[in-house]
Amino acid sequence: MSDRIRLTPAMRDLLLDMYATGSAYPIDRNHQRTFDALEALDYIEHASWGRWQITPLGETVAKKLTERNQ
């Protein structure tokens, strides 16, 4: 994995929130696009009806993002 992680602010915030809480639900269609974008990168996955969870790759990326913020 490269050292540079390219995410929009919305994608980064959602990934970090899911890292902290374990799962999330999209609020509206606009929010759903952020979920879809993270799923395309294999950072999150659809777990059950309406519920999404972070993948192991997503956890790795979130850890790197939190290390940079400290």
- Please indicate, yes or no, if residue 12 is contained in any of the structural domains: no
Q: How many domains does the chain have?
A: 1
In a domain, 47, yes or no: yes
Residue 4 is assigned to a structural domain of this protein: no
Rounded to an integer, what distance in angstroms lies between the CA atom of residue 70 and that of residue 14? 18
Alpha-carbon distances, residue 2 vs 20, 33, 41, 59, 61 (angstroms): 23, 24, 14, 15, 11
Residue 57 has pLDDT above 70, yes or no: yes
Q: Count of alpha carbons within 13 Å of 45, Cβ hemisphere only?
A: 7
Q: What is the pLDDT of residues 2-53, one digit of tens each?
A: 567 789 999 999 999 999 988 888 888 888 899 999 999 999 998 888 789 9
Is 50 or 62 the better-scoring residue by pLDDT?
Answer: 62
Q: State in Å, rounded, how far the first CA of the chain is from the last one.
A: 21
Is residue 62 one of the residues assigned to a domain? yes
Classify residue 6: in a domain, yes or no. Answer: no
Q: List the domain range (segments joined by +) for residue 60.
A: 17-68
- CA 3, CA 30: separation in Å to the nearest integer? 29
Q: Is residue 25 part of a domain?
A: yes
In a domain, 40, yes or no: yes
Tell me what pLDDT residue 59 has: 94
